[in-house]
Amino acid sequence: MNATGTLAIDAGQSGIKVRHSDASGSGEWSAPGIRTDLPLLPQLARVIEQAHEGGRSAERIGLGVSGLTEDEVDAGYLLAAAAPIGARSVHLAHDSITAYLGALGDERGVVVAAGTGSVTLAVGAVEIARVDGWGYLMGDAGSGYWLGRAGLEAVMRDYDGRGPATALSEVVRADFPDVEAAYIELQADPERVQRIASYARAVADAAAAGDEVSVAIASAGARELAMSAIAGLRRVGELGAPVSQVRGVGGLFHGEVLGREFVETLRAELPGAEVRLGEAHPLDGAAALADVAPTSALAAHIAVARMGPSVE
């Protein structure tokens, strides 16, 4: 096969997005999200195989992956799996790297990415710092799962009489007429993380409508995300920069209360910060992995495999 073009993959827990580009143009499609409780590399190889089955070829493949651990940073494995598509190089990184590139490019600053999970990446002159992104069991503060779980807990507190009434109770009762059985059904659902995270939308909507419990949850989530940004800037030596560049990316920041509280918290702590929301293109970031300058602090965190004798 005479391969041309590029394949960019943004593999998250909520869904996988893929873009194929060549001289004739580009096209995008989606697939179900990756399972971080299962081996990642075979799942990623399958995404590449599906592109091949669709008649596509690509010389260069860039992947940003949620939940990518050091044990699974194996670009060579994926290059071998991508042989049928004609790949000559594979660039593999944690999705915090591609989210960063898609929002700030190769500039210094910090990007907070919040979806089902949450992860923050700060980049300084010589080093980077990842903050949170430790999964729903140990971290992901302010994430969709974090907000959804807090909403469900508030509903059960309302039900028990341990907490104030909340409009979220009506939403949950529509899904679980027997509220006492909700936790049993959720525990047994293999997609429980995504399912719980889906209640973040209900929290955002109820907060925008003035539900006090939901406002408190959304505001607390925003503060968690803002503190992650500040921690990242501090760790890479950018906290005292004349202008700290901060980006909040992901659907959660479209929530009226969370987005506003995030910006206000950061501007109170960092008066000179340039804070923007919603400006991220993770697929652009995946495609840009191959173009990161060797002198960039990001370069050491991108795994590269190439056809031929030279494999980095």
- What is the rounded CA–CA span in Å between residue 197 and residue 202? 10
Residues 257 and 208 sit within 8 Å (Cβ to Cβ)? yes
pLDDT tens for each residue of 239-254: 878 878 999 998 899 9
* Residues 255/259/261/265 CA torsion (nearest 10 deg): 160
Whether residue 264 is predicted with pLDDT greater than 90 in this model: the reply is yes
Identify the band that residue 312 occupies on the pLDDT scale cut at 50, 70 and 90: very low
Average pLDDT over residues 63-86: 91
Q: What is the pTM of this model?
A: 0.79
Residues 166 and 143 sit within 8 Å (Cβ to Cβ)? no
pLDDT tens for each residue of 165-177: 999 999 999 999 9
Out of 71-80, 152-161, 303-312, give the one with best mean pLDDT.
Answer: 152-161
Run of H or E including 91: strand 89-94
Identify the band that residue 311 occupies on the pLDDT scale cut at 50, 70 and 90: very low
- Tell me, what's the pLDDT at 159? 97
Average pLDDT over residues 172-185: 96
Q: What would the two tokens of residue 54 be? A: 């669709």
Cα angle 224, 226, 228 (rounded to 5 degrees) comes to 70
Identify the band that residue 309 occupies on the pLDDT scale cut at 50, 70 and 90: low
Q: What burial class does residue 184 get, using C-beta atoms within 10 Å of its C-beta: 0-12 exposed, 13-18 middle, 19+ buried?
A: exposed
Identify the band that residue 62 occupies on the pLDDT scale cut at 50, 70 and 90: very high
Q: What would the two tokens of residue 4 be? A: 């041309």
Within-domain flag for 189: no
Across the beta sheet with 128-132, the strand order is: 128-132, 118-123, 109-114, 245-249, 274-277
Q: DSSP strand E in 133-283: where?
A: 245-249, 274-277
Residue reference for tokens 């690509």? 58
- Tell me, what's the pLDDT at 243? 79
Q: What is the CATH number of the domain that holds 78?
A: 3.30.420.40
- Tell me, what's the pLDDT at 90? 96
Whether residue 279 is predicted with pLDDT greater than 60 in this model: the reply is yes
- What is the rounded CA–CA span in Å between residue 251 and residue 259? 10
Across the beta sheet with 25-31, the strand order is: 25-31, 16-22, 6-11, 60-65, 89-94, 303-306
Cα angle 257, 260, 265 (rounded to 5 degrees) comes to 115
Identify the band that residue 162 occupies on the pLDDT scale cut at 50, 70 and 90: very high
Residue reference for tokens 């990242």? 232
Long-range contacts of 260-264 (CB under 8 A, 24+ apart): 260/222, 261/218, 261/219, 261/222, 261/223, 261/226, 262/112, 262/222, 262/223, 262/225, 262/226
- Boundaries of domain holding 299: 6-100+282-306
Amino acid at 78: L
Q: Count of domains in the chain?
A: 1
Within-domain flag for 212: no
Interaxial angle between packed helices 168-175 and 144-160, expressed in degrees from 0 to 180 and rounded to the nearest 10:
90
Length of the chain: 312
Within-domain flag for 30: yes
Instruction: Give me the residues paired with residue 114 across strands.
Output: 118
Within-domain flag for 10: yes
Q: To the nearest whole number, what is the mean pLDDT of the chain?
A: 92
Backbone angles phi, psi at 287, to 5 degrees: -65, -30
